[in-house]
Amino acid sequence: MRGLPDGPEPSQPHRAVRIGWLLLGFVCVALGFIGALLPLMPTTIFLILAAGCFARSSPRLEAWLLDHPRFGPTLRAWRRDGAIPKQAKIAACAGIALGGTIFLAGARPRLWIAALVTLALAACAAWIVSRPLPPDQR
């Protein structure tokens, strides 16, 4: 039929994907800021994810996050070098230990579950510790 498009306009899927990345970025920022207030919830990983989402959807919001006075240096170090600052490593490992202890004391899981959770948390802590330090901390 004449007058009907052959399919969706090329900009529509692109716009929908961009909006999806943008919304996901806002969710990650919200989770990151909640994590900054709650001791057992991570902050940095959500902000790293948010920066990636904003890189695909809003350069202005990506720049805002990377230039943030509190979180920007850590995000830039991760993006540039895959580096985690010493203080962040200490905080992350302390949070992992505290969370694991609370889980073990509160849930009192069976031995095999406790061992599995402890092994998973130790693997996460080992991965964090194995990341390089930023150049200014080497």
What confidence tier does 95 reach under pLDDT thresholds 50, 70, 90?
confident
DSSP structural state of residue 134: P
Residue with tokens 């529509």: 12
What confidence tier does 12 reach under pLDDT thresholds 50, 70, 90?
low
Structure tokens at 86: 């010493």
Domain spans in the chain, listed from the N-terminal domain onward: 1-81, 83-138
CA distances for 64 relative to 61, 68, 86, 104, angstroms? 5, 6, 24, 39
C-alpha torsion sign, points 13, 19, 22, 26: negative
What average pLDDT does this structure show over 49-59?
94
CA-to-CA distance for 88 and 133, rounded, in angstroms?
10
Indicate the pTM of the whole model.
0.72
